[in-house]
């Protein structure tokens, strides 16, 4: 057990981000009464007011925390890429959050768009690389807005970066019941990066003889994720493929309402960020009707990461119970969901 | 009407490729009795025998045809990438097949894994760019098999290449009932290439005021493709995103059994290639039980491309009727399916 007090930076962000994060915080307080919280006002409102995305002084303060609880960032008033690159991705890169953890489960009380699937039948976690690949921002534009324009994007991949995330995924697979790990890439077309991933995967596999392995191309995996999601246990893949695959996984488990995410620095040298996969949903913001389940499940990942597995389990089970108890079609009040989950988890 | 005789190169390929292509050819012969066919033995068997993938002399012969009818290429005996890069992608690039056409429909008699969807409710076509992006093969590996190894992949995109495929997609959308076109990219992360795509899309849109447009990030589009595929009419996207999205589209319309594809050079300066999306399926090859529906639907795209829309329509309707008439669970014989479709289409 960790006896130090958890220091959590809260970046609630925009739109429904503030509403769902308040509930996630409430639930953490219920199971970890000593936790300390510091609020940071970042996101579209901050940017529109200051024209800054993440001042260095604030990033330094964030760095002094154990974890970041993030809501949602973004608003149509800000051009695409500004907040994503300047805040979300900057934190992933600067804080070396190389393991992007995205569990997907078909929970009791949720319905999948896939026919005939029963709760419990899908239970997987995608381990997405978080600091390399096409997300590094390498590339450029020449002769912009002329017929001669060209634009490039470069995917950068290192043995260092691939090996550490692959090893993390193997270790996670080893701790699970099925002990199965699927590597997803596109080795038949992206032969350079695909080769590095495939060779590294094979090398690390030798350290985990009790984990069964499989390789799939991203196009085939995207198809199987729809036709047979039950087959997946742990999946490891690169940054962009992970972005796509986890959204498909969210869709087949009933949408992003339950999709939690952690951008993790496993060594805890830097703070890790925990956030729901959903966005700021400006259309329903401010009404108190956003579902905080994904934000609270992200708080559960935070608790697990900070060394409180028992509290983490109680929180995710409380969310599962709350969701299972909902009357289909009945209106949902964000704060009431948070209250119920906090009460159950604390008990 | 085209009065010249169609010269079709047949590259049946490996595994079930030879079986399904024989049926596609049979159906073309039934509706276009004058068509001339030349067979080319390429693929894994050819490669294993000769260590060559596509000799220049053969490529020159292929170039003298109006279209290429392709089955499936690939076998576990050949390392990943060799046949893909050396044959399939080489043809797309050398023959400037910049429009990769992938229609997806929920046909009567097929079942989607999605609950509650009825035949006719999904009817879309993905127009995938075929000659640029991450498929160009730019990149490399340094310090291979050492801890210092790095691997890169570069996505190259030109205004020329983006504009022509976007314009083709707008023109296709304009000819359809719903006249709706969705651009899919990842502009919030791939800001360089995404910017080029978004600006080009906006410029070309001005020429098609009667087509409604929409933009989605690839991760969101992958999710909506599962949760709400009905919303799509025509989708235009880059080479890699198109590869992924069309496999999801195939999955939600019941698998790759009905997924047809054309790699098209719209100007007909070079031959276009028509092939089912499925692979060579070595596990069921040689038994006469592979479903030729996707290969025959690809032949329908070929007929359409060569200026025979009436024959194309008869072939796709004959496939639809044949599939709708199947007894669920009854064994399928490849040649009998081809016979029935040919008879109906010829009538
Ligand atoms: C907002 C965006 C930059 C981000 C990503 O692409 O990683 C999001 O889609 C996610 O999955 O966390
Ligand atoms: C075989 C492979 C090179 C190809 C691709 O990635 O384009 C295939 O997946 C396809 O979709 O035609």
The DSSP secondary structure of B287-331, one letter per residue, reads SS----HHHHHHHHHHHHHTT-HHHHHHHHHHHHHHHHTPPTT--
Cβ pair B108, B320 in contact under 8 A? yes
Question: Best of B100, B113, B148 to disrupt the A interface by mutation (most A CBs within 10 Å)?
Answer: B113
Burial of A267 (0-12, 13-18, 19+ CB in 10 A): exposed
Question: Cβ–Cβ contacts within 10 Å for residue B73, how many?
Answer: 26
- State yes or no: is B118 an active-site residue: no
- State yes or no: is B243 an active-site residue: yes
Question: Cβ–Cβ contacts within 10 Å for residue A310, how many?
Answer: 11
Distance in Å, alpha carbon of A342 to nearest chain B alpha carbon: 30
List Cβ neighbours of B78 (8 Å cut-off, separation of 6 or more).
B44, B47, B48
Q: How far is residue A264 CA from its own chain's centroid?
A: 9
Cα separation, A88 vs A43, in Å, equals 10
Q: Is A145 left (phi over 0), alpha (psi -120 to 50) or beta?
A: left
Nearest listed ligand to the Cα of residue B133: 2
Measured between CB atoms, which of B191, B247, B255 is closest to A219? B247
Cβ pair B125, B104 in contact under 8 A? yes
DSSP-assigned letters across all residues of A279-346:
---GGGTTSS----HHHHHHHHHHHHHTT-HHHHHHHHHHHHHHHHTPPTT----HHHHHHHHHHHHH
Burial of A339 (0-12, 13-18, 19+ CB in 10 A): middle
pTM: 0.96
Cα separation values, A45 from A12, A130, A259, A288, A290, Å: 11, 26, 25, 19, 19
Residue B5 has which token pair?
């005789």
Burial of A313 (0-12, 13-18, 19+ CB in 10 A): middle
Beta bridge partners of B236: B127, B183
CA A181 to centroid of ligand 2, rounded, Å:
24
Which helix or strand (DSSP H or E) is residue A272 part of? Answer: strand A272-276
Asked whether this chain's domains B1-98+267-347 and B106-264 adopt the same fold, the reply is yes
CA B332 to centroid of ligand 1, rounded, Å:
44
Tell me the chain B residues in contact with residue A204 when contact means C-beta distances shorter than 8 Å.
none
Tell me which architecture the domain covering B106-264 has in CATH: 3-Layer(aba) Sandwich (3.40)
Nearest atom within ligand 1 for CA of residue A261: 12
- Look at A243 and B218 and tell me if their CB atoms are within 8 Å: yes
B1-98+267-347 CATH: 3.40.718.10
Nearest atom within ligand 2 for CA of residue B88: 3
Q: Alpha helix locations (H) across chain A?
A: 16-31, 44-50, 56-63, 82-83, 89-94, 159-175, 191-205, 218-227, 239-252, 293-305, 309-324, 334-346
Q: Which of A281, A227, A275, A244 is nearest to A112 (CA)?
A: A227
Per DSSP, the three-state class of A227 is: helix
Nearest CA to ligand 1 atom 11: A243
Cα separation, B13 vs A71, in Å, equals 52
Q: Which of B14, B243, B270, B291 is catalytic?
A: B243
**What's the average model confidence in pLDDT over A290-309?**
97
Cβ pair A15, A281 in contact under 8 A? yes
- State yes or no: is A219 an active-site residue: yes
Q: How many CA atoms does the CB half-sphere of B23 hold within 13 Å?
A: 30
Nearest atom within ligand 2 for CA of residue B89: 3
**What's the average model confidence in pLDDT over A77-98?**
95
Is the per-residue pLDDT at B3 higher than 60?
no
**What's the average model confidence in pLDDT over A200-220?**
98
- Asked: is A111-122+130-254 a CATH 3.40.718.10 domain? The reply is yes
Distance in Å, alpha carbon of A166 to nearest chain B alpha carbon: 14
Longest dimension (CA), chain A: 66
A38-57: pLDDT as tens digits = 999 999 999 999 999 999 99
**What's the average model confidence in pLDDT over B49-54?**
97
Tell me the chain B residues in contact with residue A147 when contact means C-beta distances shorter than 8 Å.
159-160
A158-202: pLDDT as tens digits = 999 999 999 999 999 999 999 999 999 999 999 999 999 999 999
Cα separation, A12 vs A41, in Å, equals 7
CATH C-level class of A1-98+265-347:
alpha beta
For tokens 């046949």, the residue is B83
Confidence tier at A1 by pLDDT (50, 70, 90): very low
**What's the average model confidence in pLDDT over A309-331?**
95
Nearest atom within ligand 2 for CA of residue A189: 3
In degrees and rounded to multiples of 5, residue A341 shows phi and psi of -65, -40
Confidence tier at A325 by pLDDT (50, 70, 90): very high
**What's the average model confidence in pLDDT over B298-325?**
97
Nearest CA in chain B to A242: B219
B36-46: pLDDT as tens digits = 999 999 999 99
Q: Locate the domains of chain A by residue range.
A: 1-98+265-347, 111-122+130-254
Confidence tier at A2 by pLDDT (50, 70, 90): very low
In degrees and rounded to multiples of 5, residue A279 shows phi and psi of -95, -165
Cα separation, B208 vs A132, in Å, equals 39
- Look at B226 and A222 and tell me if their CB atoms are within 8 Å: no
Q: How far is residue B281 CA from its own chain's centroid?
A: 17
If one compares A108 and A244, the residue with the highest pLDDT of the two is A244
| Average pLDDT of chain A to the nearest whole number | 96
Residue A139 has which token pair?
């590339």
- State yes or no: is B26 an active-site residue: no
Tell me the chain A residues in contact with residue B151 when contact means C-beta distances shorter than 8 Å.
157-158, 192-193, 195-196
Per DSSP, the three-state class of A177 is: coil
Confidence tier at A276 by pLDDT (50, 70, 90): very high
Cβ pair A69, A24 in contact under 8 A? yes
B100-151: pLDDT as tens digits = 999 999 998 888 999 989 989 999 999 999 999 999 999 999 999 999 999 9
Confidence tier at A3 by pLDDT (50, 70, 90): low
Nearest CA in chain B to A80: B188
Cβ pair A294, A323 in contact under 8 A? no
Residue B170 has which token pair?
């707008």
Nearest CA to ligand 2 atom 2: B84
Distance in Å, alpha carbon of A237 to nearest chain B alpha carbon: 14
């Amino acid at each position: 057990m960790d006896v130090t007090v958890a220091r959590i930076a809260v970046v609630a962000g925009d739109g429904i981000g503030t509403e769902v994060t308040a509930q996630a915080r409430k639930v953490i307080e219920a199971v970890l009464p000593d936790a300390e919280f510091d609020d940071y006002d970042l996101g579209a409102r901050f940017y529109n007011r200051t024209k800054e995305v993440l001042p260095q002084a604030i990033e330094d303060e964030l760095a002094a925390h154990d974890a970041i609880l993030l809501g949602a960032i973004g608003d149509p008033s800000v051009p695409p890429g500004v907040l994503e690159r300047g805040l979300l991705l900057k934190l992933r890169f600067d804080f070396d959050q190389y393991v992007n953890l995205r569990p997907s489960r078909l929970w009791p009380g949720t319905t999948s768009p896939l026919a005939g699937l029963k709760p419990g039948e899908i239970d997987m976690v995608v381990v997405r690389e978080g600091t390399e690949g096409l997300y590094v921002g390498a590339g450029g534009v020449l002769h912009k807005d002329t017929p001669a324009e060209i634009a490039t994007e470069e995917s950068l991949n290192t043995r260092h970066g691939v090996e550490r995330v692959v090893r993390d995924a193997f270790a996670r697979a080893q701790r699970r019941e099925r002990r199965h790990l699927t590597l997803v890439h596109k080795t038949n077309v992206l032969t350079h990066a695909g080769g590095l991933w495939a060779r590294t995967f094979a090398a690390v596999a030798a350290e985990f003889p009790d984990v069964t392995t499989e390789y799939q191309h991203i196009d085939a995996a995207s198809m199987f994720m729809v036709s047979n999601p039950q087959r997946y246990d742990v999946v490891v893949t690169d940054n962009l493929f992970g972005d796509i695959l986890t959204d498909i996984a969210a869709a087949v488990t009933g949408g992003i309402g339950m999709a939690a995410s952690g951008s993790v620095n496993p060594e805890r040298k830097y703070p890790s960020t925990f956030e729901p996969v959903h966005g700021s949903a400006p259309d329903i913001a401010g009404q108190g009707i956003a579902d905080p389940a994904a934000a609270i499940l992200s708080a559960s990942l935070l608790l697990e990461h900070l060394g409180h597995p028992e509290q983490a389990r109680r929180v995710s089970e409380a969310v599962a119970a709350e969701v299972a108890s909902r009357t289909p079609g009945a209106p949902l009040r964000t704060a009431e969901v948070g209250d119920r989950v906090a009460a159950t988890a604390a008990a």
